[in-house]
Structure 1
Amino acid sequence: IISHGDYDVSGALIEHKRQLIHRRNQLDRLITTVEKTIAHNKGEISMTNAGKFEGFKKEKLTQNEKNFGKEIRENYGEETIKKSNKNFMNLSEEDYMKMQKAETQIFDLLKEVVRSKDLESESAQGVYNKHKYWLSFTWETYSPQAHIALAQMYAQDERFRKYYNDRAGEEVVSTLLDIIVKYAK
């Protein structure tokens, strides 16, 4: 690719540098949070719950970026991911707890649908509604097409499949995809 006549080496290097600086900034913020947590644990400083929660959210984003950053950017674009990350960082502790509760409910309902094999059931509708609600915490705007694309990515990417299936204790990703395709309109 590099030896191809119209490959823009300078442009590629500039973009690579931008990505490296972004990763370095993320790591610097995470290191600062870890240092504060260590100092707090040693009794050297007092760290508020709000400060701990901010550090927790930063750590979650860094982990998500490491695990899925490339794929989500390819599917949704840089700007969408930036907005989603910003929305996540702006979550209150109460909203984060609501988001986690919705996720737990998604898995409980999803297991019911897997057992019943009934995509017309209230449980199936509940899976869709809860997943859409869960997305609302981080998505700027809802799009049925984007929701379906996300479910397809869950089904196609082994890491997402593993997360969902391990969390549920059984194969649920195919059913989740079927539900979202059926109800996302």
Structure 2
Amino acid sequence: MKVKEVADLVGISVRTLHHYDEIGLLKPGNITEAGYRLYSGQELEQLQQILFFRELGFPLKKIKEILDSPSFNREEALHLQRKMLLDKQRQVERMIKTIDRTIQDARGEIKMTNEQKFEGFNFDSNPYEQEARERWGDERVDQSNAKVRKMSKQEQENWANGMNAIYERLAALRVESPESEPSQAAIHEWFVYLNRMGSYSLEAFQGLGQMYVEDERFTKNIDQFGEGLAKFMRNAMAVYGDKNK
């Protein structure tokens, strides 16, 4: 199957498959003389594994490590993924039950306890933080977390407001070329703002932009300010990094 056929079958973008190829996560079985990528049933099985792990919140770097491991066993992985998805299903069911009870509580039909109001929530791990640690290392994340902890509640609120203001300015520019002067001026402001909290190299900044598109959690949050903003920021951040290296 050609790359477009695979993309249409699975429901992902051609760009995603190209990216998987570039990072060595999913290589096509053959490439024609004309340069067309061709995927066999074996590559489709591997793509299925990648998407199962992605659905469970695994970063691409970790998925590659798992699939490249000599001890990797597809059947064992499927059993593990099934168990994890069942755990996720049970958590979602608990949260749906909490929502239903909250609706009843709002109507005055029942009285919820404080404990019942938060059944189903699980904050044992932060998937964003884990992915950042694996992509850029513990030191940068620890520095950012330390700065946040030192902020007062008002300072944290001011920080969030400033961040949202930049998102809104970028959203207004997303119809322009990412290479335009206004776009690059706004993305420079974003680079400077992020470095007030952490320490982002140009490469890390570009990598963060790529994550905005690769990780649907980021895309969903960013695109609340305007549809397509995540992709626009990714492209503008890539241009900014290349121009300033």
**Hey, what's the Cα distance between the residues in 2 that align with 1:79 and 1:118?**
31
Map of 1:157 onto structure 2: 215
Structure 1 unmatched runs, 5+:
5-61
Rounded to whole Å, the distance in 2 between the matches of 1:132 and 1:64 is 30
After superposition, the C-alpha distances for 1:53-76 in whole angstroms (9 at most, x for unaligned) are xxxxxxxxx969524232112111
Supply the distance in 1 between the matched residues of 2:154 and 2:213 (Cα, whole angstroms).
30
More moved, 89-98 vs 156-165: 89-98
Asked whether the equivalents of residues 87 and 138 of structure 1 are also in contact (C-alpha less than 8 Å), the reply is yes
How is 1:1-185 mapped onto 2 (pairs within 5 angstroms)? Answer: 65-93=125-153, 95-117=155-177, 119-122=179-182, 124-139=183-198, 141-165=199-223, 167-184=224-241, 185=244
Q: Identify if the C-alpha distance between structure 1 residues 69 and 142 changes in structure 2 by more than 3 Å, giving closer, same or farther.
A: closer
Distance 1:146 1:65, change over 3 A: farther
Deviation at 1:118, TM superposition (A): 5.5
Percent of aligned pairs sharing the same letter: 22
RMSD, matched Cα = 2.8
The one-letter code sitting in structure 2 at the alignment partner of 1:157 is D
Q: CA deviation at 1:130?
A: 2.4
Q: Cα deviations across residues 121-145 of structure 1 (Å, max 9, x unaligned)?
A: 32x1232122113212320x33111
Q: TM-score, normalised by structure 2?
A: 0.44
Letter in 2 for 1:108: E
- 2:225 and 2:238 mapped to 1: Cα distance? 20
Between Structure 1 and Structure 2, which shows a larger proportion of helix residues?
1
2 CA distance for matches of 1:138 and 1:153? 18
Aligned residues: 125
Shift of residue 112 of structure 1?
Answer: 2.0
- Distance in structure 1 (CA, Å) of the matches to 2:129 and 2:201: 20
List runs of 5+ in structure 2 lacking aligned partners: 1-65, 72-121
Q: Deviation of residue 84 (structure 1)?
A: 1.6
Name the TM-score, length of structure 1 as normaliser.
0.57
- In 1, Cα distance between equivalents of 2:178 and 2:201: 25
SS in 2 for 1:119: coil
Structure of higher CA gyration radius: 2
Higher relative contact order (CA 8 A, sep 6+): 1
